[in-house]
Amino acid sequence: MMQFIAYLTRKLSRDFHGEIISLPTRTILVTAFLALLLLPLFNSNTYILRILTLTCIFSIYAASWDLLGGFAGQISFGHALFFGVAAYTSALLNLRLGLPVLVTIPIGALAAVLSGLVLGLPGLRLKGPYFSLASLAFPIIMMGIVFTFPQLTGGELGISGITRLAATRVREYYLSLMMMLTLVLVMWKIVTSKTGLIFHAIREDEITVRASGINTSLYKMLAFIISGLFAGIAGGMYAHFMRVVGPSTLELIMSLQIIVFVIFGGIATIYGPVVGVFILYPLMEYLRVVPEYRMLIFGLLVVLVLRVMPEGISTFVQDLLEGECPRCKERNAFTRSACRICGTDLDSHTHLNFLKRGA
Amino acid sequence: MTGDFLEVNNLSKRFGGLHAIRDVSFSVNRQEVVGLIGPNGAGKTTLVRLILGIIKANSGQVIFKGQNLTGKKTWTIVGQGIAGTFQNARPFAHLPIIANVMVPCLGPRASRRGEWVKTVEARAMDALEFVGIADLAKEPASRLSQGDLKRLEVARAIACEPELLILDEPFGGLNPTETSLMAKSIRRLHKGGRFGRLHSEGPAMIIIEHKLSELMKIVDRVIVLNFGETLTMGTPEEVVNDPKVIQAYIGKEVV
């Protein structure tokens, strides 16, 4: 037992040195996470904690869109379907049946997947832009259903009086932070696995994947289910955090805003959308100081940033701080003079990459 | 003709008013290498796509090892042991080359076979080594030249562990040296055996090609298509000297 613990400690410290400290972007991410972890100790302003909790929830939602849109290439304009259905289901289960949060969120997520399957089975047969356009209709259909049964769903007023996610604001904050870390890591693990490779390949060329003997319908469905599950969890958390669920969870802006976050952060990376949400969502809240110009400034900022970094902010920073070894294609910090894996000489040391590119 | 391996019966395909393939029937033996030639627009690629199930036939049957594959999905057909390359290589451009070959290695058929090689990477690497682009394994596929793309296509097809390999213009865009190298690889593949950790049972082959001089050295039998119909079949010598074939390719002599 002692030996096992010693082994584990050794392995963890080795991974920490080799995989995190050696790469500047990962160091930044770990530092940022630690800062978020320690934040409530220094600042107990509930408004800031509220914004950050919502940011965590939207990070899960954005990463789930990235899994479907960025990796499997099924660009969905109706991702709010999962979010909204899960939010409504959790809220109703909680309010009518009095189920606790731990039960309602998973059931809500499953309901989101189910509704996604009902609408998506015919939808996934469509290709490319046709799927995107069809997906635009999904939340609108669901919103129609919501308005058809106002006694059950509360119509335009929505459902209120739902149990809190956790007893205090700080607990809610830590819960959603930990959920975000876990779920995003799980998604990252999925997309870097062999299944993720097939998602990548389906996005690149579906016919070739078929001719390689892989059941593309199955894998597209799988991407749909995984993505819907995570978006559903985010939706359920949102319902319990806001304690009111209305048709706003199904609105078009819910679907489209998230795409802006993902593209701003860096598409097809999983961690990119999280970065994007953590920059843009608090910014949007901050811009409430100038309510008239809020959306204008927001839009201009996104356009200008994407003009400079078309592949998203996370990819841009990564290229800036890390170079790719020409031989083994492993990434290295810009300060290194030799590749940390294969020892090849790197010419980019002491120069930031963008200086060399003359950009 | 013993048609128990691959049998194509009265296959027809129309695109609107155009009869791309009309009542084509032929068969391939387990040990055979068959050339499929014909002038441009004769329907060679359409025929291959029909066999692979990428497009659906209007009528007719494809029977492989006694099983009717007509109307089956492409992945089922590949799972049964038919693999093909595309005339215009369609790589996953943003992925590294090795990932392009790892995808077919993940298919149900390929992962069932060769169980003594556990890692997908090792098998993909062997397929790349066989076609000779293993040194480029980590480059993105968009960086490859036309010739290397053809090789990548072949690597992708043999990674499916096929029993019948369909090559659509494997020499297209290759210079003479590359062509003879590729021809050598194809002959070696047909003989079967082990290439590193990759085991080949020596697939039967259908090869579509315009470079007839190279093709004739490889194939046992040639099928000539013209306007969607089989013009003639026979050994390379018979076909090359057939006046109908010469007429289809060059045209009738004006007296």
For the stretch A43-74, pLDDT in tens is 878 899 999 999 999 999 999 999 999 999 99
Residues of A in contact with B110 (CB under 8 A): 213
On the CB side of A350, CA atoms within 13 Å amount to: 0
Report phi then psi at B112, rounded to 5: -75, -35
Q: Report the largest interatomic distance among the alpha carbons of chain B, rounded to a whole angstrom.
A: 66
CATH number of the domain where residue B244 is located: 3.40.50.300
Residue of A nearest to B84 (CA): A211
Establish if B73 belongs to a structural domain: yes
B residues 38-77 lying closer than 8 A (beta carbon) to A: 52, 54, 73-75
On the question of pLDDT at A349 being above 90, the answer is: no
* Residue showing tokens 């392009």: B100
User: Is pLDDT of B162 > 70?
Assistant: yes
Residue B102 predicted with pLDDT over 80: yes
Q: pLDDT tens across A141-168, in order? A: 999 999 999 988 888 888 998 999 999 9
Residues of A with CB under 8 A from a CB of B: 194, 197-198, 200-201, 204-205, 207-216, 328-329
| Residues contacting A148, CB < 8 A, separation 6+ | none
Find out whether A34 and A26 touch, Cβ atoms under 8 Å: no
CA distance B65 to B55: 21
CB-side neighbour CA atoms (13 Å) of B74: 25
Closest by CA to B77, choosing from B186, B160, B198, B153, is: B160
Sign of the dihedral through C-alpha B141, B142, B143, B145: positive
- What pLDDT, on a 0 to 100 scale, did the predictor assign at position B194? 73
pLDDT at B118: 64
Interface of B with A in 184-223 (CB under 8 A): none
> Is there a domain that residue B94 lies in?
yes
Instruction: Flag whether pLDDT at B49 surpasses 50.
Output: yes
Confidence of residue B75 (pLDDT cuts 50, 70, 90): very high
Residue in B86, B103, B108 closest to A209 by CB: B103
pLDDT at A357 (0 to 100): 47
Residue B255 within a domain: no
Asked if residues A81 and A119 have their Cβ atoms less than 8 Å apart, the reply is yes
Q: How confident is the model at residue B197 (pLDDT cuts 50, 70, 90)?
A: low
- Position B1 scores a pLDDT of 45
Of the listed ranges A198-202, B6-10, B117-121, the least confidently predicted one is B117-121
Tokens of A348: 């980019």
Highest mean pLDDT among A43-47, A106-110, B67-71: A106-110
- Work out whether the CA dihedral B36, B39, B45, B50 comes out positive or negative: negative
Report pLDDT digits (tens) over A170-227: 999 999 999 999 999 999 999 999 999 999 999 999 999 999 999 999 999 999 999 9
Model's pTM, two decimal places? 0.89
In a domain, B118, yes or no: yes
Whether B78 sits inside 8 A of A213 (CB atoms) is yes
Distance, C-alpha B51 to centroid of its chain: 10
- Note down the domain range covering B246: 6-250
Which residue in A200, A179, A182 sits closest to A269, CA to CA? A200
Q: Which helix (DSSP H) or strand (DSSP E) does residue A240 occupy?
A: helix A216-242
ipTM score for this prediction: 0.89
A198, A205, A329 member nearest B90 (Cβ): A205
* Total tally of structural domains belonging to chain B: 1
Instruction: Say yes or no to pLDDT of A353 above 60.
Output: no
Q: What percent of chain A has pLDDT over 90?
A: 65
Contact residues, B window 133-172, toward A, CB-based 8 Å cutoff: 138, 156, 159-160
B91/A205 touch (CB, cutoff 8 Å), yes or no: yes
CB-CB under 8 Å, B91 with A208: yes
Model confidence at A291: pLDDT above 90: no
Region B48-69 average pLDDT: 91
